[in-house]
Amino acid sequence: MDYEKLKNNLEKLKLMRINEILDNYLERAEKEKLGIIEILNYLFEEELKSKIQRSIDMKMRMSGFPFIKKIESYDFNFQPSIDRKLISDLETLKFVYNAENVVLLGPPGVGKTHLAIGLGIKAIEAGLNVYYSNCHNLILSLKQANYENRLKHKLNTLAKYKLLIIDEIGYLPFDKEGANLFFQVIVRKYEKHSIIITSNRRFSEWDEVFGDKIIAAAILDRLLHHAYVIAINGKSYRLKERKNSGLFDNNYFAKK
Ligand SMILES: Nc1ncnc2c1ncn2[C@@H]1O[C@H](COP(=O)(O)OP(=O)(O)O)[C@@H](O)[C@H]1O
Ligand SMILES: [Mg+2]
């Protein structure tokens, strides 16, 4: 009876992990003659761990990451132009707590998205809300929201994330509406929360990207006011992988 009631209450209280391990653990606790405090401590510790993990899993699912790559799997020897110490500093997430920005610049394949996601994962593991979008999709969804008269709501939602990652600025040019909407996102975030931006274009080319000198200057002004800029001058990791597979071997076509 008591046991039934206990299981029932655990369910009602949504103490799922305790509910799951209770049977086996109580058996073990009896055998090993564990004290009541020890038993309670273990059970609640397990519940807490699983709650934290569930929250991380949920944040990861909501993040929109196109792939999961950690900083630990980034080969810094392959990209010597990167200041490893700066990346280590960013991994502490001080930049997020200080609402500073990170701009990763460089040609395709050097690992801009990998590093941005790697930092995003660190932030999620620290319990922060993170949202990733590539720039083109972000602008499309802002335009859609604008069209449906819910731009304000959409901007408010984006403003809530402690860290917003906007990937691939500059692959496609902005039209006037797109540039305006992007500017509004930056203004909302400015000095409140962090943004990580990646781009294959130099800042001097942003006039062209945004199709408007004044708006490009206004965006850069806010974005760079408190920002770490990481310019990666190196070879593409994608091409390295293909080279190793033989596709880029000069003798490839000659071989049988
Ligand atoms: N230095 C590196 N070490 C390990 N993997 C890398 C490195 N640079 C890039 N990659 C991998 O190569 C692929 C392309 O990198 P990505 O981050 O998409 O490049 P970018 O965004 O600069 O175009 C990804 O699978 C990424 O994990
Ligand atoms: Mg990329």
Does residue 253 have a pLDDT over 60? no
114 and 93 inside one domain: yes
35 and 75 inside one domain: no
pLDDT category, 242, cuts 50, 70, 90?
Answer: low
| 3-class SS letters over the chain | CHHHHHHHHHHHCCCHHHHHHHHHHHHHHHHCCCCHHHHHHHHHHHHHHHHHHHHHHHHHHHCCCCCCCCHHHCCHHHCCCCCHHHHHHHHCCHHHHCCCEEEEECCCCCCHHHHHHHHHHHHHHCCCCEEEEEHHHHHHHHHHHHHCCCHHHHHHHHHHCCEEEEEEECCCCCCHHHHHHHHHHHHHHCCCCEEEEEECCCHHHHHHHHCCHHHHHHHHHHHHHCEEEEECCCCCHHHHHHHHCCCCCCCCCCCC
38 and 91 inside one domain: no
Ligand 1 atom at shortest distance from the alpha carbon of 241? 12
Q: What separation in Å is there between the alpha carbon of 162 and the centre of ligand 2?
A: 21
pLDDT category, 238, cuts 50, 70, 90?
Answer: confident
pLDDT of residue 251: 40
53 and 81 inside one domain: no
Please tell me the number of the ligand nearest to residue 106's CA.
1
Q: Which residues form the domain of 29?
A: 2-58
Q: What separation in Å is there between the alpha carbon of 16 and the centre of ligand 2?
A: 39
Whole-number average pLDDT of the chain: 93
195 belongs to a structural domain: yes
210 belongs to a structural domain: yes
Nearest CA to ligand 1 atom 1: 75
Please identify, among 58, 79, 101, the residue that sits at the C-terminal boundary of a domain: 58
109 belongs to a structural domain: yes
87 and 206 inside one domain: yes
124 and 156 inside one domain: yes
pLDDT category, 246, cuts 50, 70, 90?
Answer: low
Nearest CA to ligand 1 atom 9: 111
Q: Model confidence over 105-153: pLDDT tens digits? A: 999 999 999 999 999 999 999 999 999 999 999 999 999 999 999 999 9
